[in-house]
Structure 1
Amino acid sequence: MKFIVALLIAAVSLVTYWCNTQENEFTGESQHVDMSVEQEIALGLQAAPQMAEQYGGLHPDQEAAQEVKAIGQKLVQNTKVSSTPYQFDFHLLADEQTVNAFALPGGQVFITAGLLKQLSSEAQLAGVLGHEIGHVVARHSAEQLAKAKLTQGLTGAAAIATYDPENPASQGGAVVAAMVGKLVNMRYGREDELESDRLAVQLTGAAGYDPRAMIEVMHILEKAGGGAGGGPEFMQTHPNPGNRVAEIEQAIQEEYPDGLPEGLQQ
């Protein structure tokens, strides 16, 4: 009976995942997501205060905060992002120690003061914000939520199928299944990061910024230890910044095969 229940749970999880497919109007990709854009926006707005609190709240420096907002909105208003339904807002977090930036579904974008003070140009800040905008328009959060639900369903089915109340050691099978599911989702996370880098190249260039500033950001992150962490790269949530440089250089070459136009802001 437990195997039948496990198979049913696994089947429902797989069917639900594969049947919930939408075309992303921004990227043109077909994606497995199970929420609407409106739900993404609502989710991001709901989570924003709690996420900000984890980093000490918003930074009291209103001038710096307005600079972040202005550059973020320049990226939105001067690119095709302006035609998307997402409600972008950009926030400077008070945390002076953590080097980080992230985006919530729907368009709430955050950068810590710890990262901002590492940047030395407007173009570098535009590169960071452009990367986070890329996550939003590519609907990476919605994809990750759908994958997490699939993984949860499959690992739950595996736990039911392998558990033997008379043999506690059988729980090890569920633990292994959970670890495999986590690694699969981490792999998708790295692919999302690289896609956002490519989108940031497009957005920064279109908004008048030199996309090569993103390479400088990667060097800054590498020096700060951002994304590199301990252990081999395949166990990290983000790709090694040094390895991302080659991807960014390739994206710039593909976007500007005849060379970068003159007059881009450094």
Structure 2
Amino acid sequence: MRAVIKFIIALLVAAVSLVTYWCSTEENEFTGEKQHVDMTVEQEIALGLQAAPEMAQQYGGLHPDRQAAAEVKAIGQKLVQNTNVKETPYQFDFHLLADEQTVNAFALPGGQVFITAGLLKRLESEAQLAGVLGHEIGHVVARHSAEQLAKAKLTQGLTGAAAIATYDPDNPASRSGAAVAAMVGQLLNMRYGREDELESDRLAVQLTGNAGYDPRAMIKVMRILEEAGGGAGGPEFLQTHPNPGNRVTQIEQAIQEEYPNGLPEGLQQ
């Protein structure tokens, strides 16, 4: 009888999670895609502003070089103001982090964009920096954080239902079923993350080209990231980001689709 009750409860938890996820659907005005999100743009902006100081501290705070920081902000705003990103409600701001060792860039929901000094010092041109910032802008306008949150809640609900259905307090071995369910949920979210990265690469091609930068500079950025990673890191399936070498192919394809007649002359490299 207890097993039947557990099974019914598990079904109810799973059903509520699925219904909540599928009913939280909006059309992204920037990309035109249907998305499952459960927060408003205003909530995204507020969340990003709230989290920004703490995130900065994790990378040693903001960089003291005001000139370098101003250049990052200027290039970021050029991407915003010279593309249709300026028509979105997001409040973009671009920050240079003091961390000289970590090679990274990321965006919080709502428009707070960060790049570490460790990555900036490896870049060789303004166009490469524009490619990095354009990629992070892509994450924001594509609402990837809101999507990830909705997916994480769905995964949490489904794995919780699986744990309820399989766990037996009188049988310690049943705990492995819950562990497997949790691992599967984690791998599913990693897959979504890689898809988000590739979509942001495609958006960055559009944004950099429209702002007057040569999007081919992003290919060199991928080479830089590949060198920084030492060419290792384990199977791509278990990584949160796609292999930089594989991303090059996607970027080249995106450039071809965006400019079927070839890139215009005069783009900044």
Amino acid at match of 1:222: E
SS of 1:210's equivalent?
coil
Aligned to 1:119: 123
The residue number in structure 1 matching 2:145 is 141
Deviation at 1:3, TM superposition (A): 1.1
For residue 62 of structure 2, give the secondary structure of its aligned residue in structure 1.
coil
Q: How far did 1:216 drift?
A: 0.5
Query: Over residues 112-141 of structure 1, what are the superposed CA-to-partner deviations in whole Å (9 max), with x where a residue is unaligned?
Result: 000000001000000000000000000000
Deviation of 1:2 (Å): 1.1
Gaps of 5+ in 2: none
Q: CA deviation at 1:229?
A: 4.5
| Aligned twin of 2:20 | 16
The DSSP-based 3-state class of the residue aligned with 1:87 is: coil
What is the rounded CA distance, in whole Å, between the counterparts of 1:33 and 1:133 in structure 2?
A: 18
**Residues 3-45 of structure 1 deviation map (CA, whole Å, 9 limit, x = unaligned):** 1111111110000000000000000000000000000000000
1:60 is aligned to 64
Amino acid at match of 1:7: L
8 A Cα contact 1:229 1:236, kept in partner? no
Q: Sequence identity of aligned pairs in percent?
A: 88
Gaps (5+ residues) in structure 1?
none
After superposition, the CA RMSD in angstroms is 0.8
What CA distance in whole angstroms lies between the structure 1 residues aligned with 2:232 and 2:197?
A: 16
Question: In 2, Cα distance between the equivalents of 1:230 and 1:220?
Answer: 15
Three-state SS of the structure 2 residue aligned to 1:234 is: helix
Q: Between Structure 1 and Structure 2, how many residues are aligned? A: 265
Give the Cα separation in 2 of the matches to 1:46 and 1:245.
34
Query: Equivalent residue for 1:181?
Result: 185
Structure 1 segment 78-157 matched on structure 2, within 5 A: 78-157=82-161
Tell me which amino acid in the other structure corresponds to 1:264.
Answer: L
Q: Structure 2: how far apart are the matches of 1:241 and 1:20?
A: 33
Which residue of structure 2 lines up, in the alignment, with residue 206 of structure 1?
Answer: 210
| Aligned amino acid, residue 239 of structure 1 | P
SS in 2 for 1:239: coil
Counterpart of 1:40 in structure 2 is 44
The letter for the 1-side match of 2:74 is A
What does the per-residue CA deviation read over 1:151-201, in whole Å, with 9 as the maximum and x for residues that have no partner? 111111111110101101101111000111111110010000000000000
So what's the TM-score if we normalise by structure 2? Answer: 0.97
**Which structure 1 residue ranges, 4+ long, deviate > 6 Å from structure 2?**
none
Q: Deviations over 1:62-117 (max 9, x none)?
A: 00000000000000000000000000000000000000000000000000000000
CA distance in 2, matches of 1:219, 1:2: 51
Paired residue type of 2:85: V
**Is 1:239 equivalent to 2:242 in the alignment?**
yes
